Structures are given as C-alpha cells and as structure tokens.
Structure 1
Amino acid sequence: MEEQVSVLNISLHHPEQERNGVFSEVPAQLQQDLSPIVFGRGADCTVRLQHQQVSRRHLQLEPYLEKGDLHLRFSLKNLSRKSSMTVNGTQLWYLHQVPLSGATRVLLEPGIHMLINLEPGISSKELTCRFHLSQSPLITWLKPEESKD
C-alpha cells in the first residue's frame, strides 16, 4: 500500500511582486524529505525570497508527528531576529513557534502574505509543497475600530 504524502499548499503575495521579483526563485512544487522547510534570502534556504527586508533565514516550517497520530503536522517558527511576523492575527517574535491548523495566514514585515493550507497525509518519509503566486492580497484583518461586538 502506498503512503499518502502530506501536501502544503502555500499561496504567496507581495504588492510589488511583478516589479521586484521577490518570488522569482520560488518553485511551483517542491518534493522533499521531512527536513524543516526554511524561507529566507540565504543560499542555504529551502525557499528563497528576494527582498532586502527578508532575513537570510526568516521562517521555518517544521514537520512533526504527535504520539499515537499517523498524520504529519507542522509548526511555524520565526527565525528572524530583526522582525516579527503575524500568524492568524497574533504577533510571533524571534524563535517563537506555533502549530499550523486549518488555513494559516502569515504576514511578514516586508508586506509578504502567505496562506498555508495542509492536506494531511501519513507518509513518514516525504512531503510536497505546492506554491501559488496570487495577484490579490491574501490577508485582511479588521482594524480594532471596525470590529463588531
């Protein structure tokens, strides 16, 4: 029986992505083992983002298994010392991490939007990332004065 591979569907947006080539080195699809997926400007990153405000190692998606569960899960960790990021509306500072659940919305300080959706699988050896570049913003949060009680 063939194992079902976990798939991370990652949509990306930056307001000037056509002009500045911020996603020029992002592949359409990435197959890899269960090593962490590192995003940043550095040559050693799994996914390279070409923006001067992106750290050499900016964020990490780390696969893991919980005891007694066959489905692969992921956590997101901020690797940037100089900037925080917003994950589902909550600030995430250097070396803090959160588990991914459902649709996870990530906003990096240079204005990069990420929308991460996980299709869980049971593979203990590999995973797939599919990248989509969006022309439209992916994240909108209500400002405090717009919230309805």
Structure 2
Amino acid sequence: MTTAFQTADTEETTTFLNITVYHPEQEKKQVFRAIRFCQREHLRVDELVKFGRNCDICRFYFMDSHVSRIQFALQLFRPFGSSELVFEIMNLSKRVKLIVDHVELAFLNKLIIPQRCLVRFGDYQLLMQKQDGQSEDFFEISFDMSKTSLWQEAVSLSVPETGVTCSLSPEEMDEDE
C-alpha cells in the first residue's frame, strides 16, 4: 500500500546566490535604490545577468555615474564532467578593474567564483555566497545591504599567508568621455 507521502513529487531546489552589498556613501547617494532587497529573484539558468548603471541593459543596476554602463556579468554553467552548477564572473568595464577576492580582472577577463567571495570595484563591495541546488532550469538571486564594510570581514576570513595588498580603483569615467 503506497501513501501520498511516497508518491508526492519531490520539490527541486534551485541554486541560490545571496549578494550582500556595501558602499561607503550608500545612505547619502542612495546608489542601491533600484535594487529590491530581501526578495528572491527567479532567473533562467541560460540568462547572462548584467550589473551596471544602464537600466535598459542591466538586470541589476546602480544609481551612480561612477559605475560603468555595464560593470560585470554573471553566468551560470556546468563545467564538463561535473554535476554542479557554478557562476562565472566577467569584467565588462574598460576603465575599472574588478577584484574578486584577491584576483584583479581587467576588461573581458573572467573566472569561476568560489562558494563565497568578495567582489570589489571602485567603492563598491559585494559579498557573494552560493548555495547549491538541483534545478537545471532556474536559479535565484537575493540582495542584502550591509551598513559596515565587508572588506574587513572578508580579509579576516581569507588572507593568504603572504598577506594581501589592497589597490583602490580610481573613480570611473564614462567610456565616451
């Protein structure tokens, strides 16, 4: 005799990326006012997710003229021979380097992000934390805001034995200027 419990569909979990954001002048400039916080955004796995200041091109945009029209993009994929989905990040800014943990990415450079990493550009800090799921069709992104710098927390968790140097990026100008 089978029960409803035994025959019920198994709920498929989605890969989830939580992004905690910080900017030193976020209260004054309201640079994150276009981002919906504490809400999961449901996205297709084949979607290239762009971040920048252009609201017509970018899925998530920052209200700041110092951010490139398209700053960076995230893409979910499955490496050959793996069952796990991973995120790849690509710098799409010609003027500002994107720093992922301690790796500087120049224009069009990309890399697979670890389960937890700190992404920085200009004065922006984004702590990205991934939770694995089984869905091959969708993933989810959610945003939180930090009132304190994420850099100190990230450094204390991941400083290599040799130490780390912090290079602050100059303010970005529009690519057309």
State whether TM-score is above 0.5.
yes
1:91 CA drift (Å):
1.2
Counterpart AA for 1:27 = R
Counterpart AA for 1:135 = K
Structure of greater relative contact order (alpha carbons < 8 Å, 6+ residues apart): 1
Large movers: runs of 4+ above 6 Å: none
Larger fraction in helix = 2
Query: Equivalent pairs: percent with the same residue?
Result: 26
Distance 1:82 1:132, change over 3 A: same
1:122 CA drift (Å):
1.7
Looking at structure 2, the residues matched to 85 and 118 of structure 1 have their Cα atoms a distance apart, in angstroms, of 19
SS class of match (2:84): coil
Q: Which residue of 1 aligns with 2:99?
A: 86
Q: How does 1:3-42 map to 2 (within 5 A)?
A: 3-28=12-37, 29=39, 30-34=41-45, 35-42=47-54
Q: Which residue of 2 aligns with 1:119?
A: 131
Aligned residues: 145
Q: TM-score, normalised by structure 1?
A: 0.90
Larger fraction in strand = 1
Residue segments in structure 2 that go unaligned for 5+ positions in a row: 1-9, 157-161, 165-177
1:53 CA drift (Å):
0.9
Q: How does 1:63-142 map to 2 (within 5 A)?
A: 63-109=76-122, 111-140=123-152, 141=155
SS class of match (2:81): coil
Residue segments in structure 1 that go unaligned for 5+ positions in a row: none
Are 2:68 and 1:59 equivalent residues in the alignment?
no
Counterpart AA for 1:33 = R
Q: 2:58 aligns with which of 41, 45, 48?
A: 45
Counterpart AA for 2:139 = L
Q: TM-score, normalised by structure 2?
A: 0.76
Rg comparison, structure with higher value? 2
Looking at structure 2, the residues matched to 104 and 117 of structure 1 have their Cα atoms a distance apart, in angstroms, of 7
Asked if the contact 2:115–2:131 (Cα under 8 Å) also holds between the matched residues in 1, the reply is: no
